[in-house]
């Protein structure tokens, strides 16, 4: 509904915008034609008033004609400059309005997604716990329900962390700490946590020991969770996810690879925009807010690092992070 609202707002704006622009351009052309007509009339009038018998007749005629030419050049050049400035201004206004509208639409989608994302895990966890409390269940059934509740609270944790962090990462400047921490340990812990949350999934981890970086450990944990979450979310259940960490000269290189649908070339930059979600069926049918990768990129940038996404051959995507190593 809200999406339609912004669509109509955009249609309305477009109608007025193009209408006004067409009117201004038409007025400009009309002014040019009027001025030019006046210019010619003036020339004709002045030529008619010349004395044809005069010795200076030719010279005066030349003068009048060149004045007419000068005036025409002036009108054309001023008209072109004005038109160019007008078109440039119109382009800037139109582009920023379009961006604003699509941002508002994404924000509205985000609000709806958040509401949904908050409600679902709470309801599922509650149902699982109530079932355990009120029914006599076998050990294995209880384990399954608890596993379910654990996975849902984990999702809730990632979501609330993302929302709480969203405003903080937008503050300018880098991270405020100079304390190093061991990225290898953090990654191993995160992988262990995800293996417990998703026992049916296979997560292959190859983690080089003692890789340390300077930064906010809690933030880095959120970045890693987002990448693992996405890899598990956007790849089929039967495919493995591979996580790798190694040191390469002065950098720590961390990659998360999946065998999912992959990310089209045209979307590779956009997925890091705030609230952006690829508009295909696979994404639409999965839950999400479009905040995860935006935050991940901001967090990595605050650690003086960079993140990029590549194609995983033959299928899927690889997110690669590079962060400066802490030199002991």
> Residue numbers of the site for ligand ADP (CB under 6 A)?
226, 230-231, 234, 258, 260-261, 263, 271, 276-278, 283, 288-294, 317
Euclidean distance between CA atoms 175 and 277, whole angstroms:
27
Residue with tokens 């895990």: 121
Q: Min. distance of Cβ 238 from ligand ADP in angstroms?
A: 16
**In sequence order, which residues have a C-beta less than 8 Å from that of residue 162 and are 6 or more positions away?**
222, 226, 289, 291, 292, 295
Strands 241-248 and 203-207: parallel
Q: Min. distance of Cβ 80 from ligand ADP in angstroms?
A: 44
Q: Min. distance of Cβ 31 from ligand ADP in angstroms?
A: 50
Q: Among residues 39 and 226, whose Cβ is nearest to ligand ADP? A: 226
Q: Min. distance of Cβ 173 from ligand ADP in angstroms?
A: 23
**In sequence order, which residues have a C-beta less than 8 Å from that of residue 233 and are 6 or more positions away?**
286, 287, 288
Are 240 and 202 in contact by the 8 Å Cβ rule? The answer is yes
154 SS3 class: helix
Q: Among residues 32 and 197, whose Cβ is nearest to ligand ADP? A: 197
Q: Min. distance of Cβ 307 from ligand ADP in angstroms?
A: 11
Q: Among residues 161 and 283, whose Cβ is nearest to ligand ADP? A: 283
Beta bridge partners of 207: 245
Strands 317-324 and 306-311: antiparallel
Q: Min. distance of Cβ 277 from ligand ADP in angstroms?
A: 3
Q: Among residues 159 and 325, whose Cβ is nearest to ligand ADP? A: 159
- Find out whether the peptide bond into 314 is cis, omega within 30 degrees of 0: yes
Q: Among residues 212 and 296, whose Cβ is nearest to ligand ADP? A: 296
**In sequence order, which residues have a C-beta less than 8 Å from that of residue 90 and are 6 or more positions away?**
17, 21
Q: Among residues 114 and 127, whose Cβ is nearest to ligand ADP? A: 114
């Amino acid at each position: 509904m809200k999406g339609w609202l912004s669509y109509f707002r955009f249609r309305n704006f477009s109608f007025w915008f193009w209408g006004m622009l067409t009117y201004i351009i038409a007025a400009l052309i009309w002014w040019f034609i009027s001025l030019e007509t006046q210019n010619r009339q003036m020339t004709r009038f002045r030529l008619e008033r010349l004395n044809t018998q005069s010795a200076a007749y030719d010279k005066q005629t030349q003068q009048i004609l060149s004045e007419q030419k000068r005036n025409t050049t002036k009108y054309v050049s001023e008209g072109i400059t004005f038109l160019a400035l007008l078109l440039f201004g119109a382009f800037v206004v139109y582009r920023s309005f379009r961006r604003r509208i699509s941002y508002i639409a994404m924000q509205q989608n985000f609000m709806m997604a958040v509401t949904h994302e908050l409600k679902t895990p709470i309801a599922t966890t509650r149902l699982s716990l109530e079932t355990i409390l009120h029914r006599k269940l076998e050990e294995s059934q209880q384990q399954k329900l608890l596993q379910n509740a654990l996975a849902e609270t984990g999702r809730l944790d990632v979501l609330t962390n993302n929302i709480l962090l969203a405003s903080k990462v937008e503050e300018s400047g880098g991270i405020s700490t100079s304390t190093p921490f061991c990225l290898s340990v953090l990654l191993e812990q995160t992988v262990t946590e995800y293996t417990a949350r998703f026992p049916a999934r296979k997560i292959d981890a190859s983690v080089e020991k003692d890789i340390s970086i300077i930064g906010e450990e809690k933030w880095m944990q959120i970045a890693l969770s987002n990448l693992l979450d996405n890899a598990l979310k956007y790849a089929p259940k039967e495919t493995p996810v591979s996580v790798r960490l190694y040191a390469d000269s002065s950098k720590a290189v961390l990659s998360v690879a999946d065998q999912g649908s992959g990310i089209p070339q045209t979307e590779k930059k956009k997925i890091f925009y705030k609230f952006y979600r690829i508009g295909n069926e696979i994404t639409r049918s999965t839950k999400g807010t479009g905040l995860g990768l935006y935050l991940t990129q901001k967090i990595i940038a605050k650690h003086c690092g960079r993140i990029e996404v590549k194609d995983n051959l033959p299928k899927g995507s690889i997110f690669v992070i590079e962060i400066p190593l802490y030199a002991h």
